[in-house]
Amino acid sequence: MSAVPNPRADVPRVWAQRQTEAGRALPELSVLRADQAAVFAHGEEIVALAQRAGNVIIVDPFRSMCDANTCSTVKNGRSLFRDTDHLTMDGVQIIAPDLSVAIASAYRSIAQEPR
């Protein structure tokens, strides 16, 4: 798995603060994808090393957590991070489909190996 977007702040605390400032619930919160360039590049380095080792399946959280401009930190009124960089179960659910595909692919590959 490559790098997870980094909100660079304690998401629950920032979310609460922004809602207090806005005087209303904010069901969505995000960070600019452009500000994630170093994190994304580090993830790409990890991927390159893994691919050199061979026989790997890559899961890229940026693919499911970000669009062209932003990376979600709060979605549908649920925080995707429990602090500055650890995903909540809601955050894991965002990347779970990609993880499931990777696990299924790895299983099929292993099952097809001669015994």
Residue indicated by tokens 């899961």: 59
Task: Report if residue 1 sits inside a domain.
Answer: no
Task: Report if residue 46 sits inside a domain.
Answer: yes
Contact 59, 1 (CB under 8 A): yes
The pTM of this model reads 0.87
Q: How far apart are the first and last CA of the chain?
A: 28
Task: Report if residue 5 sits inside a domain.
Answer: no
pLDDT, tens digit (0-9, with 9 covering 90-100), for 4-63: 999 999 999 999 999 999 999 999 999 999 999 999 999 999 999 989 988 889 999 999
Task: Report if residue 17 sits inside a domain.
Answer: yes
Task: Report if residue 3 sits inside a domain.
Answer: no
Q: Give the mean model confidence (pLDDT) for residues 66-82.
A: 98
Task: Report if residue 4 sits inside a domain.
Answer: no
Count: domains in the chain = 1
Question: Could you tell me the residue range of the domain that residue 21 belongs to?
Answer: 11-111
Closest CA to 39 of 58, 61, 23, 18: 61
